């Protein structure tokens, strides 16, 4: 499986990339997870968009968020894989690249995420630790997690 990463700030995304990103986010977060929420949250414009393609198909995505946009710390959000590639290791590849790119872009600073509770073990495998109580976000249990540095 030949994979290609593309990373761009919002103002450099093509209309086709924006469409693919929004389509994948809606496919999983709205339809699959049956969650009605406002995905267009006015944060995309300040972020870098990490896209993972298999040939011309977007199969995974993460939003790299500068400090001060979502949390005081830098963040990674909208972490997503297409249902058709789950269980293949693509999520791990995406997350490792998202971490590397976040450190390259924003420095070796703590990264805070709002993780869906079922995925806590996945994020712990990358060095994230729970940092707070479980909270409901759009009908899904979440928990904030922090990774202190790139080591």
Q: What per-residue confidence (pLDDT) applies to 1?
A: 65
Residue among 50, 45, 97 at smallest CA distance from 70: 45
- Per the structure, the complete domain to which residue 125 belongs is given by 3-147
pLDDT tens-digit profile of 2-44?
A: 899 999 999 999 999 999 999 999 998 877 777 777 778 999 9
Q: How many domains does the chain have?
A: 1
Residue among 65, 144, 132, 60 at smallest CA distance from 96: 60
- Residue 145 pairs in a beta bridge with 113, 130
Give mean pLDDT, residues 64-71.
97
Q: What per-residue confidence (pLDDT) applies to 138?
A: 81
Residue among 76, 55, 58, 79 at smallest CA distance from 66: 76
Assign residue 98 the CATH number of its domain. Answer: 3.40.630.30
**Residues 44/80, Cβ–Cβ less than 8 Å:** no
Cα–Cα dist 79/91, whole Å: 8
pLDDT tens-digit profile of 73-129?
A: 999 999 999 999 999 999 999 999 999 999 999 999 999 999 999 999 999 999 999
């Amino acid at each position: 499986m030949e994979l290609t990463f593309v990373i761009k700030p919002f103002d450099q995304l093509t209309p086709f990339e924006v469409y693919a990103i929004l389509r994948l986010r809606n496919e999983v977060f709205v339809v699959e997870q049956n969650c009605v929420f406002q995905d267009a949250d006015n944060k995309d414009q300040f972020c870098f968009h990490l896209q993972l393609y298999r040939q011309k198909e977007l199969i995974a995505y993460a939003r790299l968020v500068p400090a001060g946009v979502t949390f005081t710390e830098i963040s990674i959000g909208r972490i997503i894989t297409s249902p058709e590639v789950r269980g293949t290791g693509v999520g791990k590849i995406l997350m490792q690249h998202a971490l590397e790119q976040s450190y390259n872009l924003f420095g070796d600073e703590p990264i805070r995420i709002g993780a869906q509770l079922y995925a806590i073990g996945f994020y712990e495998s990358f060095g994230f630790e729970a940092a707070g109580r479980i909270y409901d976000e759009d009908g899904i249990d979440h928990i904030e997690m922090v990774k202190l540095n790139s080591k």
